[in-house]
């Protein structure tokens, strides 16, 4: 019985590791993110609320509110799935969840800002 439990735990951990490695999402540091959006023509999306967006955003970003679920998916459907998409939120939580949805929608090059806008605005 003990051996079966150990085997199940090992199998569970290995499948979780495999799922993580198959992800199409790359989390970038502030420096990496800044270099990428400066050097390349990218789709830059802020998934915070419009009120948060109005208080300040990364230059060139468009706002697609994560909490507006129906409009959220519809808005992303208008973007080019073959081009890289760079997303961020306030701290990285919403953009991480948004990235999963983007994978489901068929985006293949998804880049998420680690630490979100809070990290972006730190010196």
State pLDDT tens for residues 101-110: 999 999 999 9
Q: Indicate if 49 belongs to the active site.
A: no
Number of structural domains found in the chain: 1
Q: Return the HEC string of 49-71.
A: CHHHHHCCCCCCCEECCCCCHHH
pLDDT digits (tens, 9 = 90+) for 8-66: 444 454 444 334 457 889 999 999 999 999 998 899 999 999 999 999 999 999 999 99
Question: Which one of 44, 45, 89, 113 is the catalytic residue?
Answer: 89
Q: Note down the domain range covering 65.
A: 24-120
- Here the CATH number for the domain that contains residue 83 is 3.40.250.10
Determine, yes or no, domain membership for 47. Answer: yes
CB-based contact 95:111 (threshold 8 Å): no
């Amino acid at each position: 019985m003990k051996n079966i439990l150990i085997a199940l735990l090992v199998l569970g951990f290995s499948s979780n590791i495999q799922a993580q490695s198959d992800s199409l999402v790359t989390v970038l540091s502030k420096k990496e993110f800044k270099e990428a959006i400066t050097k390349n023509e990218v789709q830059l999306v802020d998934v915070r609320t419009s009120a948060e967006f109005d208080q300040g955003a990364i230059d060139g970003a468009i706002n697609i509110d994560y909490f507006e679920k129906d409009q959220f998916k519809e808005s992303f459907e208008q973007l080019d799935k073959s081009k890289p998409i760079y997303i961020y939120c306030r701290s990285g939580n919403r953009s991480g969840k948004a990235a999963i949805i983007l994978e489901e929608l068929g985006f293949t090059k998804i880049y998420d800002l680690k630490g979100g806008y809070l990290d972006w605005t730190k010196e």
